[in-house]
Amino acid sequence: MALGTNGDRLMSDINVTPFVDVMLVLLVIFMVTAPMMMQGVDVALPETTSQPLAAKKENLIITINKKNEIYINNYQVAIDFLQEKLKKILEGRAEREVYLRADREIPYGFVVRVMSEIKAGGVEKLGMVTEPIQHDKKGNKQKAKS
């Protein structure tokens, strides 16, 4: 009784070609979808002649967009709960510093009301975020980007 010839042996090598194909497809899918997952709040900031500040750490940023929606970093908050949320967030922080980004088309009264809520939330330093004024090559001011 013969155990078998060389032609009847089972192949014990792993075929990695399908695995590599699947990995390449997944890589392409993640490369295409990753930029779509980035979210932010679209705000047209006012322009000023101030110099940019050097950022040492991640700061708390409050944003007001064109629709008068308020965001703490990227999380939407109603103005009625802004003070409470800030108190909770700032509870464990040594520095109570916040930056405010407001769209240039927001009414001044609404921005002041938000600033009042921020101060009542325990913020000691409130910074305003702006964009530098754009100049052309001749030194003339250009129109603001909308």
pLDDT tens digit string along 32-77?
887 766 555 566 666 666 555 555 567 788 999 988 899 988 889 9
The pLDDT value given to residue 24 = 93
Q: Are residues 91 and 73 in the same domain?
A: yes
In a domain, 141, yes or no: no
Of 78 and 4, which is predicted with more confidence?
78
Give yes or no: residues 30 and 55 share one domain. no
Residue 109 backbone zone (phi > 0: left; psi -120 to 50: alpha; other: beta)? alpha
Contact present, 94 and 131 (Cβ < 8 Å): no
Same domain, 73 and 128: yes
Whether 22 and 91 share a structural domain: no
State which of 16-30, 34-48, 89-103 shows the largest mean pLDDT.
Answer: 16-30
Q: How many domains does the chain have?
A: 2
For residue 116, being part of any structural domain is answered with yes
Q: What is the CA radius of gyration of the chain?
A: 28
Residue 86, C-beta contacts closer than 8 angstroms, at least 6 positions apart: 72, 98, 117, 118, 121, 122, 123
Range of the domain at 97: 47-132
Count how many residues are written for the chain: 146
Shared domain check, 86 and 118: yes
- Tell whether 122 and 89 lie within a shared domain: yes
| CA atoms lying within 13 Å on the CB side of residue 31 | 6
One domain, residues 51 and 21: no
Residue with tokens 């101060």: 119
